[in-house]
Amino acid sequence: MTQITFVRHGQTDWNLHRRIQGTTDIPLNDTGRDQARRAGEELAGGEWDAILSSRLGRAHETAEIIAEQVGLSTPSILDGLQERAHGDMEGMTFDERQAAFPGDTVVPGLETRDAVIARVLAALDGSEHVTNDTRILAASHGGVIGSLIRYATGGEQPTAGQVIANGSYHDFSWSAGALTLVTLRAIEADKDLPPVRLPQR
């Protein structure tokens, strides 16, 4: 069995302004770097065999910061851990997305959650680092981690209102190609983001 702890990358300016990033390569901001350092400090108490990363810069820089904190060498990029592609709505705020693609409108280029899960599981299955009795850190993205949590819990988690916050980390076990959620650290609100402004009634 392999323990895999997925870490969501630190904050970017697009996270701060609640813009949909997808595969657009937006860098960490200073808050995001602080979040990565904080996660690394918390994870430094464990024994880790390797650290993997999405190829997107915000995740890779997060992994580099954490690797230094926990005493690992340079992170290995694992294709398949990149964020869910959001197609034509990348760069939009959620309000802009609703205006451009209301209701059940198909968004060109939007990757399905099933496709995300399939590529992540295939990437883990093919990784030389994911072997029996290893403990792996993997820096990835909110859409990926949320999809894996839903997959591993049959859709029961995360519950409505729970947030996979920037810099948060969540534990899974991997055995014979099966992924199981061990610890979910979702929260009700990301304290490093401004509160959502609800529309006036």
Active-site positions?
9, 83
Separation between Cα atoms, residue 133 and residue 27, nearest integer Å: 33
Count helices and strands in the chain by DSSP H and E runs: 6, 6
Residue written as token pair 């939009």: 92
- Alpha-carbon Rg for the chain in angstroms: 16
Sheet with 76-77, edge to edge strand ranges: 76-77, 50-53, 135-140, 2-8, 169-175, 178-183
First-last CA distance in the chain: 51
Q: Which residue has the tokens 């996979």?
A: 164
